[in-house]
């Protein structure tokens, strides 16, 4: 479980991009070396595991510049309970909601994966994707 308070996602992305730009300008990396993994490695939250779920308390249904990069494939749960009033029952409800979702990681739930040549197999879950790829 990770809690992040007062965290600016845009600022984190800009700082990471500046870090890579400086490295490129100093000849330590080539522009063609820059990819998602390298950018992520320069971000404040890089040591943390991927975020599975964000619980937003207080009735707001927006991200408010919070961990924009890291939330790209996270499930979002919104509750009207204020943070000081958030109970274990509220957490149980959020987890129950999360468990009932089909996580698609940005896709439509089906991915065609090439298996040796022209054959393709349609897989519908992340577990299937990991086994197949």
> Any idea what the CATH number is for the domain that residue 80 is in?
3.40.1180.10
Sign of CA dihedral 113, 101, 65, 8: negative
Structure-model confidence comparison of residues 49 and 6, the more confident one: 49
- As a whole-number percent, the residues of the chain with pLDDT over 90 amount to 53
Kindly report, residue by residue over 68-97, the tens digit of the pLDDT.
898 888 999 999 999 999 999 999 999 999
Domain of residue 44 covers 9-101
The predicted model gives 105-118 an average pLDDT of 55
Collect contacts of 85-94 with beta carbons under 8 A, ≥24 apart: 86/55, 86/57, 91/55, 94/53, 94/55
The answer on 130 and 90 residing in a single domain is: no
Q: Name the residue with higher pLDDT: 132 or 51.
A: 51
pLDDT tens profile 7-16: 788 999 999 9
Would 109 be classed as within a structural domain? yes
Cα separation values, 93 from 9, 32, 54, Å: 27, 45, 13
pLDDT at 108: 62
What is the structure's pLDDT at 131? 40
Question: H/E/C letters for each residue in the chain?
Answer: CCCCCCCCHHHHHHHHHHHHHHHHHCCCCCHHHCCHHHHHHCCCCCCCCCCCEEEECCCCCCCCCCCCCCCCCCEEEECCCCHHHCCHHHHHHHHHHHHCCCCCCCCCCCEEEECCCCCEEEECCHHHHHHHC
Does residue 74 share a domain with residue 18?
A: yes
Q: What's the pLDDT score for residue 132?
A: 41
Mean pLDDT of all residues belonging to the chain: 82
Which of 59, 54, 50, 51 has the alpha carbon at shortest distance from 76?
54
Number of domains in the chain: 2
Q: Do 111 and 90 reside in the same domain of the chain? A: no
pLDDT at residue 99 in the model: 92
d(CA 41, CA 10): 16
pTM of the complete model: 0.65
For the chain, what percent of residues have pLDDT higher than 70?
Answer: 77
- pLDDT of 24 above 70: yes
């Amino acid at each position: 479980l990770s809690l992040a308070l007062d965290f600016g996602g845009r600022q984190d992305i800009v700082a990471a991009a500046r870090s890579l730009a400086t490295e490129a300008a100093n000849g330590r990396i080539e522009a063609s070396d820059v990819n998602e993994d390298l950018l992520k490695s320069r971000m404040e939250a890089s040591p943390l595991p991927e975020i599975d779920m964000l619980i937003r308390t207080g009735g707001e249904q927006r991200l408010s510049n919070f961990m924009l990069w890291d939330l790209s494939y996270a499930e979002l749960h919104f509750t009207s309970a204020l943070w000081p009033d958030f109970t274990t029952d509220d957490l149980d409800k959020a987890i129950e909601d999360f468990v009932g979702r089909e996580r698609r990681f940005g896709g439509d739930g089906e991915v065609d994966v090439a298996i040796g040549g022209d054959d393709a197999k349609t897989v519908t879950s992340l577990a299937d994707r990991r086994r197949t790829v």
